[in-house]
Structure 1
């Protein structure tokens, strides 16, 4: 790698504004200069002439199960690296590998594989940490999660899991389960984000959970309670609580399938770009053609069908994870939900960075931050992906 990376003739998406005909200079994996006009590069520099392409912060996917025919639950280094490489082709520079409900043996194996894969990952989206999804979910909101693994959180079990890995960054669970509030407080004490997911909670239970540190909602609208009746009385659910609690952050699968245009616009109107993170929640079918696939590990996963831009259970009663990539999420928010480009980008860069508390180093193009950058055209077709100042993907014509 040459001493410096210089990007000239770019439309730069900066915090709160877009700068025409600018440049970005990176040294040692860090953004060192940003300006207008052309930067006087030298022969020793690595030069990218953007030719009027947009330059954006790298996309951060805080919830993905895989891509490119690979699932993180496959339990192999190859799967981790293959999925990371496919996501990088679509502009993702950082991600959280996400688990599914499984045996504890599979989970413990995932921890060791993650460490090995992270050390070898030089050509794909970087790994920020692990996102554990389950097994502490409401049975009635299981979605595509395997019901035989669902259970309540028990200190003996979750403490053993927490002791087995220092790479867990977030954990999704249903806050109304017995022991969940106490578990959430344990997670917060370890700087792990407890997220509300696959839940039948009523509003009051979500409010209690929020006070205990459950400040984020996993894939809003998917597997989530809304208004219910109990003994003739109405109760608001987790969805209503999400909107009532102004500080609550959310993530949405903005593929245009999990959430239609009306709901995308609704979430955007009432939560806004600073509280919404776009996530793929992608399974192995992301970036792959339609047809049969497997959700979860190749050995113990469930058969699914990829069609109509989404993965479905074989009986088509529920979605089984998305096949979206980050660039598709942005196109959907702009084209379907009428969100301005700068705000759509913020929802997959700075907002997830703030939710994950990594915004001091990632999420925006600012001097001193890590040089994770993406070049794309007006239709969000990815041209170049740069991670830590290194080009890991370049579109070939």
Structure 2
């Protein structure tokens, strides 16, 4: 049994000032003081007035620390796992790219084979399938020659591990695909799409409910053509945002957080191989990417994912908006947990839930990370 005392505990609706959490593999008690007299022989960690949050959940991450989901190997996923945990991420969805069908299947098969296998860091919750069922007009950094019309037959052997799939709802075959995937419990996300507002609204009737990296690679908001962005901002659709101050201007963050219910906004990294490493040349979906000045771009200049981390996204949101800390933290914890229907186990600090816990200092730098009570990171400084 362990205790972290003298810490600001971030709950979903408030922050407990100078509280204490008692935990082993599960959270046993949350106290509003540092009085531990009733506990004997317990390891006590002084939070030094920092912050305690649930473990972060990244639902959209392609790669990190020199490796990528599309490599299709245990080493790649484990390297990502043991390095993103240093940024406070305790659970994630390895995310695919639009590549040759065999490469996508190998990536899915790889994740399926190691989902229950022990990783050194953050756990896998499933897969985020980004492509190949998109529109070439908004391909972004996806490879156009491998874009396909939506077809469930291509991925039906891996439905159990696919949690989110990105689809352009305006393309041929989308309606049938969305309805079938929805019936199997997969979250359908609009992205890399030229859909109109009306097409998104129609697709919502089929089962569309989420948006992949809002504003990026989709029809924007125009006063006569509301587009995908207009459909998302005017509905209860959930949406991802990349808060690296590159993909989105900080002013956009204010607009989104005022237009959308807090529970519908999810912070993602969309990180690629270069995440956590120095500037240089890397790969994303088989394409050369130049990482420089905090950006990741193809040789054409198009953005190609990011080098963002979730703890960095939280700090950027704190600088850009006037939201209270707990509402921002929710975007990286309870909101993705609720989307993936795992909020009964993780995503918030509550007695009886798994002890996925992040201790941060007063500047929100990661100090310690626990997964089911096991110390994975100790005193990491950024």
**Alpha-carbon distance in structure 2 between the residues aligned to 1:204 and 1:165:** 28
Between 100-109 and 184-193, report the one with greater CA deviation.
100-109
The residue that corresponds to 2:314 in the other structure is 330
Alignment RMSD (CA, Å): 1.7
1:236 aligns with 2:221: no
Give 2:31's aligned residue.
35
- Correspondence for 2:253: 264
CA shift at 1:274, angstroms? 1.3
Cα displacement (A) at 1:386: 0.8
Q: 1:311 to 1:396 in 2, by over 3 A?
A: closer
Aligned to 1:216: 210
Structure 1 alignment gaps of length 5 or more: none
Following superposition, the deviation at residue 339 of structure 1 comes to 2.9
Q: Mapping of 1:345-384 within 5 angstroms?
A: 345-384=329-368
Any idea what the Cα deviations from partners look like across 1:29-78, whole Å, max 9, x if unmatched? Answer: 211211122234433x3432222221001111111011111111111111
Does the C-alpha gap of structure 1 residues 227 and 21 become closer, same or farther in structure 2, counting only changes over 3 Å? closer
Please give the per-residue CA displacement for 1:267-318, whole angstroms capped at 9, x wherever unaligned.
Answer: 111114211000001111111111211113xxxx1111111212011131x1
Partner residue, 2:86:
89
Contact 1:256 1:336 in 2 (8 A): no
Write the deviation string for residues 302-349 of structure 1: whole angstroms up to 9, x where unpaired: 111111212011131x10001000110001000123332111101111
Return the match for 1:302 from 283, 287, 291: 287
Deviation of residue 396 (structure 1)?
Answer: 5.3
Q: Which residue of structure 2 lines up, in the alignment, with residue 313 of structure 1?
A: 298
2-structure distance, mates of 1:249, 1:50? 33
Aligned to 1:67: 64
Aligned residue for 1:206, secondary structure, equals helix
**Other-structure match for 1:108:** 105
Alpha-carbon distance in structure 2 between the residues aligned to 1:288 and 1:100? 21
| Contact persistence 1:111–1:165 (CA under 8 A) | no
Q: TM-score under structure 1 normalisation?
A: 0.91
1:98 deviates by 0.3
The residue number in structure 2 matching 1:124 is: 121
Shift of 1:115: 3.3
Shift of 1:116: 3.7
Q: Structure 2-normalised TM-score? A: 0.95
Conserved in 2, the CA contact under 8 Å of 1:81 and 1:117? no
Residue 88 of structure 1: how far off its partner (Å) = 0.4
Cα separation, partners in 2 of 1:165 and 1:186, compared to 1, 3 Å: closer
How many Å separate the matches in 2 of 1:337 and 1:396?
26
C-alpha change, 1:259 and 1:396, in structure 2 (3 Å) is closer
- Which secondary structure state, in structure 2, belongs to the residue aligned with residue 183 of structure 1? helix
Distance apart, 1:226 and its partner CA:
2.6
Instruction: State the secondary structure of the residue aligned to 1:123.
Output: coil
Decide which of 18, 33, 46 is 2:15's aligned counterpart: 18
Superposed, 1:77-226 pairs within 5 Å as 77-154=74-151, 158-226=152-220
Q: Distance in 2 between matches of 1:166 and 1:152?
A: 21
Task: State the distance in 1 between where 2:12 and 2:179 align.
Answer: 33
Query: Does the 8 A contact of 2:141 with 2:303 survive in 1?
Result: yes
Q: Does 1:252 align with 2:268?
A: no
What secondary structure is seen at the aligned counterpart in 1 of 2:304?
strand
> Aligned pairs, how many?
379
